[in-house]
Amino acid sequence: MEMASLNGLLLLASAVLLVGLLLNRWWSQRGLPILILFLLIGGILGIIFNISLTEQTVDLIEPIASVFFIFIMFYGGFSINWLMGRTMVKTATLLASMGVFLTFGALALFNIYVLKLPVIIALLTAAVLSPTDATSVFYILKFHNLSLSKGAAPTLEMESGSNDPFGYMVLAIIIQWYQGTVSGAGIAGMLIVQVGIALLIGFIASKIFDFLLNTEFTGFDNAEILILFALVVVSYSATEMFGGNGYLGVFIMGLIIGSENFHNKYEVIHFFEGLTDLMQLVLFTLIGLVVSWQPLVQNLLPAIGIFVVLTLVIRPAAMWILLHNNPVLTRAAKIVVAWAGLRGASALILTMISMSQIGFLSQDFFHIVFIITFLSLLVQGSMLPVVATRAGGIDEKENLITTFADFRESLDVQIIEIDITPSHEWANTYVKDTQLLSDLLILLITHNDKTEVARGDVLIQPGDKVYLAAPPLITDQEIHLQTIYIHRHHPWIDQEIGQVVSMKDRMILALVRDEHYIIPNGRTQIKERDRLIVYIPIRS
């Protein structure tokens, strides 16, 4: 490629991204997902440059989509907050596995016997549409800040984050069956080998990550990102080389590492979140480029039929079968989970992978999946807040942020140290009589090398050191403070502070309740949504 052509391509790509992001403010005010915007931008560019879906464009887009899928699968596992969603693990795992299989089976039958689609296209369409799309679900929940009723948000997060591997396994079986490389009797053996190798290499890769973090040889401030980026590629490639499912391998690696605490974890989460967001925007633009309007119109009715049946019949029926005896989820929560089965990037990527491996097939397969994905984002995505509200599935007491992996249950608190001189305005003043800015709080006072909690009746004397909680400010003192958020499922709810055994070597200095600071004593009861400010002694 000549330098001029490369510069023009880079300029066009940058312009598309910037224009899309600039339009997003106006677009999002109408409750529409940004992914639809980039699909439309891609479609307009496809018309301008006369680009359509051919074997050549499939061969060009499929490698890009496959690489993107590697990182999307990794982030799907890495982003799951097992701590907050641990009560819903069994439910979400059931939906991610059996939900995919039930959806695939029912949709395949509908495609074959009602729509009379060719068998291979009917099976492939059912396979790529059987998993829900994690990034689309996450985006809609965060964009609308939907505080869903008990259990609904973690169930959706964990289901959509972990069902892509099952969807890909179904697709792999169909492809190998069509190519004649596996028989019905060999399917079980193939699955055992693929899953076993993926589990093993994903586990080994996570342990390599732990080992590398404990060896100070990199010299980089953000070594965690570089190590993870490399291990994602290594895990996928090694799993595929040994006959396993590479996408499942990177998902397992992400799942294990995401459950660990390590330095800069939240910065790493935000990096990969931004990376996968960018990949999706690029992918949806590329998909929009190759949409052809004539086959789009020709396949509109069957695609609408599949979307309606999938959304209003198959998904709700599968959820009822799997959840009707579930004692944790309320009726409203089950309705929300049934509606929120969005399709997105994963369906389009799996379509490109199947078209590349089996052959071009027909324009119908691609355009049917495209229309259904578009309708899912447009209708299900935009109406999710309405459905959740009317079903009674909104609970303002729930905090949506706590269900995602970038929520910090324990945060470092920066402090300010003040030396009290004889002329200081606080000298010989009780703590309760001091006047502070609204975002400052006196926590500790050191007097004659003895540190005590700053209760209201403590007298501040000349020579004391006073420590205040404040917006981030670095101090070199060996004092460590944390805040602990009491979420709905926290084990300390309704306990008295004196009863919290795990805090016996620490001091709870204060708690924030309804935006008011409270200096507690041993009988102060901990309530949901409190934030505890904890002093941790530093031992030499």
Shortest CA distance to 161 belongs to which of 245, 94, 98, 92? Answer: 92
pLDDT at 475: 44
| 213/210 Cα distance (integer angstroms) | 5
pLDDT at 489: 67
Tokens of residue 420, six digits: 């009290």
Collapsing DSSP states into helix, strand and coil, what is residue 459?
Answer: strand
Domain boundaries defined on the chain: 31-391, 414-470, 481-535
Which amino acid type is present at position 438?
A: S
pLDDT at 414: 64
**Could you say which DSSP state residue 80 is in?**
B
Q: What is the 3-state secondary structure (H, E, C) of 461-526?
A: CCCCEEEEECCCCCCCCCCEEEEEECCCCCCCCCCEHHHCHHHCCCEEEEEEECCEEECCCCCCEC
pLDDT at 289: 92
Helix axes 55-78, 265-289, angle to 10 degrees: 160
| 336/156 Cα distance (integer angstroms) | 9
Of 2.30.110.20, 3.40.50.170, 3.30.1300.30, 1.20.1530.20, the CATH number of 31-391 is: 1.20.1530.20
- The yes/no answer on whether domain 414-470 falls in CATH 3.30.70.1450 is yes
Residues 6 or more apart from 158 whose CB is under 8 A from it?
A: 80, 85, 88, 89, 92, 93, 96
* Cα separation values, 434 from 437, 440, 458, 515, Å: 10, 11, 11, 19
Concatenating the DSSP letter of every residue in 412-431 gives E--EEEEE--TTSTTTTEEG
Tokens of residue 497, six digits: 């502070």
Fold match between domain 414-470 and domain 481-535: yes
When computed from its CA atoms, the radius of gyration of the chain, rounded to whole angstroms, is: 27
Identify the segments of the chain with pLDDT beneath 70: 1-5, 29, 31, 81-87, 144-145, 150, 183-185, 216-221, 396-414, 436-439, 470-481, 489, 501-506, 515-517, 536-540
| 317/448 Cα distance (integer angstroms) | 70
pLDDT at 474: 44
Residue 438, number of CB atoms within 10 A of its CB: 6
User: What pLDDT, in 10s, does the model give residues 135-175?
Assistant: 777 777 777 667 777 677 778 878 887 888 889 989 988 99
| 16/35 Cα distance (integer angstroms) | 13
* Cα separation values, 76 from 206, 255, 306, 336, 344, Å: 15, 8, 26, 21, 13
Helix axes 223-241, 55-78, angle to 10 degrees: 120
The fold of 481-535 is: Alpha-Beta Plaits (3.30.70)
pLDDT at 262: 79
pLDDT at 303: 96
Collapsing DSSP states into helix, strand and coil, what is residue 130?
Answer: coil
Collapsing DSSP states into helix, strand and coil, what is residue 44?
Answer: helix
pLDDT at 242: 93
Shortest CA distance to 408 belongs to which of 517, 470, 482? Answer: 482
